[in-house]
Amino acid sequence: MTFTLYDYVLSGNCYKIRLFAGLLGVEYKSVAVDFYPGFEHRGETMRALNPAGTLPVMETAEGVLTQSADMLTWMAKNEAGGEAWITDEVAEWMAFADRLTDSIGLARLHAMLDWPVDGPAVLAQSRLDLRELELRLTDRVLLGKTWLVGEGPSIADVACFPYVALSPDAGLEHDGFPAIRSWLHAVRGLKGFVTMPGIHARHDLRTPPPSEQE
Counting Cα atoms < 13 Å in the Cβ hemisphere of 87 gives: 10
H/E stretch holding 54: none
Counting Cα atoms < 13 Å in the Cβ hemisphere of 172 gives: 32
Average the pLDDT over 168-180 and give the result: 95
Phi-psi region of 166 (alpha: psi -120 to 50; beta: other; left: phi over 0): alpha
pLDDT digits (tens, 9 = 90+) for 20-58: 999 999 999 999 998 877 778 888 888 998 999 999 999
Q: What domains can you pick out in the chain, each with its CATH number?
A: 4-83 (3.40.30.10), 87-188 (1.20.1050.10)
DSSP letter assigned to residue 196: B
Evaluate if residue 127 carries a pLDDT over 70. yes
pLDDT digits (tens, 9 = 90+) for 58-73: 999 999 999 999 999 9
